[in-house]
Amino acid sequence: MKGVDAQALSDHSGRLLPVGWSRGPRAARASARPRPDKPGARRAFSLIELLVVIFIIAILLSILMPALPRARNAARKVRCAANLRGIGQSVEMYKDKNREVFPLARYMPPPWISMDTERPPFNVAMQDFLELEDMAYRCPGDKVVWNQTWTPTDATFWIEEGDTRERLSAMSYTYVVGLGGNRYENTFYFEFLKQSTSDTPVAYDFDGGVFEKADGNKVHADFFHDKRNVLFVDGHVGRYGD
């Protein structure tokens, strides 16, 4: 080429370029791409790095997954204890209005079998202080007891005559009938067993067994959570022997 060095070309700025080098559009795009060896350049994950990340995630899941059921169980137990404390506060209001006498009631509402045919269910006896189907009566871990249904009969004296609508049991907790109709100092627990109010139960989870209904059918109820909650006369909620 005339007037051009055989070894180099000059660009518009006067810099010398190697022979065969072009400053065209394609070259400009190529020069704009980041080079892997430059700082800040993007680099894809290698297969080994990806496998390491997956392995770490798998280890974390293996640690956390067994803890989830325990966490759910603990949450159910806490909510259940809060329900029982609420029931305990309602019992105290009942006692305040009834000269410190405990509600005279049967241990569970229908359809559960009961020999106390002249006593109303606990939630019926308490309905001036706590709604009949208040959610305080339902343990979050109860999948069976609360949902049992029954239909009033002529013997259901606390239901208006002719009302035959199907109803829920609506109670997860069983009432200690030995307290009913008495002041605490006149109960068997105090006079003969010499128990304190912190050792005597008022109500507890109706669970962990096979229970019979008035129609003769039996129902299996699993434990609502790992340790049964108990409401004691002094108002605290715990376990037997705590």
Q: Tell me whether residue 128 is in a domain.
A: yes
Pair type for strands 8-10 and 16-18: antiparallel
Q: Tell me whether residue 41 is in a domain.
A: no
Q: Tell me whether residue 37 is in a domain.
A: no
Would you give per-residue pLDDT tens digits along the chain (242 residues)? 444 444 444 445 555 555 554 555 554 454 545 555 555 556 666 888 888 888 888 888 777 777 777 888 888 999 999 999 999 999 999 999 999 999 999 999 999 999 888 899 999 999 999 999 999 999 999 999 999 999 998 778 898 888 889 999 999 999 999 999 999 999 999 999 999 999 999 999 999 999 999 999 999 999 999 889 999 999 999 987 66
- Structural domain range at position 99: 67-238
Number of domains in the chain: 1
> Global pTM?
0.73
Q: Tell me whether residue 38 is in a domain.
A: no
The token pair that represents 60 in the structure block: 């974390």
Q: Tell me whether residue 45 is in a domain.
A: no
